[in-house]
């Protein structure tokens, strides 16, 4: 099972594209315990049989009796987290695999938060791979649309009304830029989430004098960034990541919302090839994947707020704030990755209708070129703005006798051609296209 909510709704929100299930969490927790054992064996703190047994169990957690999510969850209530019963289960399991294994060597020098935070870091780094892959799909699709429609005129709309002409290429390039900027920030924030190993109160006292070296070894075993010091109650890395996920979801929601509006029956400028139907209305062709992307993205801001509010960890271990992070962090990743996946599907299956764009440009009778007409009438006509404003209220600019008298029919017709008043739209597309490339590899410059 993928996701964290179940197989009924997860596919709708794109959540089947990455695994943030309870099983994934348990697997990550066991991976951390195994990595700790291997690292500790380098310092003579754990025997080879114990380290090997834990490594074997990490490869197949189903072999650990009592480590299924339901059993661990029920057993977690008294201690407040699943690591406590998991360690008990692991100590029994290692002996069952190898009678030379030493139960007391499981979880050496660690506290529950070390294991959960490091498991969260593992899931964050894995989520970043999915996030980057789907963001790249979005960006590439936007770049293709921008190139193809660099000069395709489209009614620009402000406050819900037609404003001035733009091009669909510029709109698509802006979509891609927004998603790439936000997703790049999320990928880089994810890369900065480091290993957590501090022991009971962040001093590594139980494994002195090997503490920092052991922490680095655990990081290396898990392929996570090393931490300069334990960060039990410093949640900056996670809150920065959460904020970047929120920005990414916001960009997705904007693009998906635009697609939905452009696909409205009365507008018809865009459509999605595998549009969805209705249980009641046979004629419906809904831009379902864009709707799903928007729905997933709209759930993200509240989760960001929860993670950031929970950053107020007191002293050396938080009472409640730490626990409040677990599910929102999973949901944040699940929904943001899912929203990107559904948006990528939308853009890869998008049909553009320039004929509808041209038709809509004409519905105002030239009113969206009113600014251009005022400028053309020149400074020697102080009544130009009032005259054009009145003409807009009366009807079509292209048939207003006063404007024809002032400018001539041919000149007025040229002024009201949307393709002639696109400003720097094509130049801006050309400026944005070089930025619409796959996201660079993750960086770790800002790790602790």
Domain boundary among 312, 332, 358: 358
pLDDT at 378: 80
Q: Distance (Å, rounded) from C-alpha 107 to C-alpha 87?
A: 7
Phi, psi of 87 (to 5 degrees): -60, -40
Which of 289, 324, 358 is the C-terminal boundary of a domain? 358
Residue 155: domain span: 110-358
Are residues 276 and 302 located together in one domain of the fold? yes
β-pair partners for 167 = 153
Q: Do 353 and 372 fall within a single domain?
A: no
- The CATH number given to whatever domain includes residue 250 is 1.20.200.10
Structural domain includes residue 119 = yes
Same domain, 206 and 276: yes
Whether residue 247 sits in one domain with residue 274:
yes
Please tell me whether residues 256 and 129 are part of one structural domain. yes
The whole-number pLDDT of residue 303 equals 97
Whether residue 242 sits in one domain with residue 389:
no
SS3 158: strand
In a domain, 342, yes or no: yes
Cβ atoms within 10 A of the Cβ of 285, count?
A: 15
Instruction: Give yes or no: residues 389 and 277 share one domain.
Output: no
Q: List the chain pLDDT tens, one digit each, 448 residues.
A: 344 567 767 777 776 666 788 999 999 999 999 999 999 999 999 999 999 999 999 999 999 999 999 999 999 999 999 999 999 999 999 999 999 999 999 999 999 999 999 999 999 999 999 999 999 999 999 999 999 999 999 999 999 999 999 999 999 999 999 999 999 999 999 999 999 999 999 999 999 999 999 999 999 999 999 999 999 999 999 999 999 999 999 999 999 999 999 999 999 999 998 766 544 554 557 788 999 999 999 999 999 999 999 999 999 999 999 999 999 999 999 999 999 999 999 999 999 999 999 999 999 888 889 899 999 888 778 888 899 999 888 888 888 898 898 889 999 999 999 999 999 999 999 999 999 999 984 333 333 3
* Cα-Cα end-to-end distance for the chain: 34
The active-site residue out of 317, 385, 396, 411 is 317
Q: Is residue 246 part of a domain?
A: yes
Question: Given this model, what pLDDT does residue 128 score?
Answer: 95
Active-site residue, 42 included: no
pLDDT for the residue numbered 252: 98
Q: Alpha carbon of 358 to those of 155, 163, 164, 269, 362: distances in Å?
A: 8, 15, 13, 9, 7
Those residues with Cβ within 8 angstroms of residue 342's Cβ, 6 or more apart along the chain or in another chain? 13, 14, 256, 289, 290, 292, 293, 296
How many other C-beta atoms are found inside a 10 Å radius of the C-beta of residue 437? 13
Contact predicate 429/395, CB 8 Å: no
Catalytically annotated residue among 278, 394, 402, 413: 278
**Structure tokens belonging to residue 116:** 């959960």
Domain count, the chain: 2
Query: What confidence score (pLDDT) does residue 445 get?
Result: 32
The verdict on 272 and 175 lying in the same domain is yes
CA gap 195, 166 in Å, rounded = 48
Phi and psi torsions of 270, nearest 5°: -135, 155
Q: Are residues 386 and 350 in the same domain?
A: no
Residue 10 lies in a domain: no
Gap between the Cα atoms of 145 and 354, Å rounded: 12
Supply the pLDDT for residue 4: 52
| Structure tokens given for 105 | 């060597």
Nearest Cα neighbor of 105 from 33, 55, 56, 57 is 33
Catalytic-residue membership of 399? no
- Provide the residue count of the chain: 448
The answer to the question of residue 391 being in a domain is yes
Give pLDDT, residue 234: 95
| Cβ-based neighbours of 383, under 8 Å, separated by 6 or more | none
Q: Which of 358, 388, 403 is the last residue of a domain?
A: 358
Q: State the DSSP string of 268-319.
A: -SEEETT-B--SS-TT--B-HHHHHHHHHHHTHHHHHHHHHHTT---TTS-S
Q: Are residues 154 and 216 in the same domain?
A: yes
Q: Is residue 352 assigned to a domain? A: yes
Instruction: For residues 268 and 406, state if they share a domain.
Output: no
Structure pTM?
0.91
Has residue 380 been placed in a domain?
yes
| Dihedrals phi, psi of 194, to nearest 5 degrees | -105, 175
In a domain, 30, yes or no: no
Residue 274 has a pLDDT of 78
**Do both 346 and 378 map to the same domain?**
no
């Amino acid at each position: 099972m993928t996701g964290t909510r179940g197989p009924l709704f997860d596919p709708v929100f794109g959540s089947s594209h990455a695994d943030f299930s309870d099983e994934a969490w348990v697997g990550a927790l066991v991976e951390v315990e195994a990595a700790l054992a291997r690292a500790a064996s380098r310092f003579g703190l754990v025997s080879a049989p114990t380290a090997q047994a834990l490594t074997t169990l990490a490869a197949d957690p189903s072999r650990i009796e009592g480590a299924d999510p339901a059993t661990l969850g029920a057993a977690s209530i008294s201690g407040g987290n699943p690591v406590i019963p998991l360690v008990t289960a692991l100590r029994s399991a290692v002996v069952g695999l190898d009678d030379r294994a030493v139960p007391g060597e499981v979880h050496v020098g660690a506290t529950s938060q070390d294991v959960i935070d490091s498991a969260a870091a593992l899931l964050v780094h894995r989520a970043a791979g999915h996030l980057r892959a789907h963001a790249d799909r979005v960006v590439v699709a936007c770049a293709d649309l921008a190139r193809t429609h660099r000069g395709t005129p489209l009614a620009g709309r402000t406050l819900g009304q037609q404003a001035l002409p733009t091009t669909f290429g510029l709109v698509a390039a802006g979509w891609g830029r927004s998603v790439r900027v936000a997703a790049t920030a999320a990928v880089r924030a994810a890369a900065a989430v480091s290993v957590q190993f501090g022991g009971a109160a962040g001093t590594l006292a139980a494994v002195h004098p090997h503490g920092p070296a052991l922490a680095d070894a655990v990081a290396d075993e898990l392929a996570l960034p090393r931490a300069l010091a334990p960060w039990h109650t410093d949640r900056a890395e996670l809150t920065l990541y959460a904020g970047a996920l929120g920005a990414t979801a916001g960009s997705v929601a904007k693009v998906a919302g635009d697609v939905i509006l452009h696909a409205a029956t009365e507008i018809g400028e865009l459509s999605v090839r595998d549009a969805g139907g209705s249980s009641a209305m046979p004629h419906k062709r809904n831009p379902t994947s864009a709707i799903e992307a928007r729905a997933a993205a709209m759930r993200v801001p509240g989760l960001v707020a929860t993670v950031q509010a929970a950053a107020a960890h007191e002293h050396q271990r938080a009472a409640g704030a730490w626990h409040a992070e677990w599910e929102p962090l999973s949901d944040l990743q699940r929904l943001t990755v899912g929203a990107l996946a559904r948006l990528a599907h939308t853009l890869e299956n998008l049909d553009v209708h320039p004929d509808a764009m041209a038709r809509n440009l004409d519905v105002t009778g030239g009113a969206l070129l009113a600014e251009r007409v005022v400028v053309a009438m020149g400074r020697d006509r102080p009544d130009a703005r009032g005259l054009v404003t009145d003409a807009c209220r009366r009807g079509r600019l292209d048939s207003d006798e006063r404007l024809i008298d002032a400018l001539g029919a041919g000149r007025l017709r040229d002024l009201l051609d949307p393709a002639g008043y696109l400003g720097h739209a094509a130049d801006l597309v050309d400026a944005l296209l070089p930025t619409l490339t796959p996201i660079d590899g993750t960086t770790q410059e800002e790790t602790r």
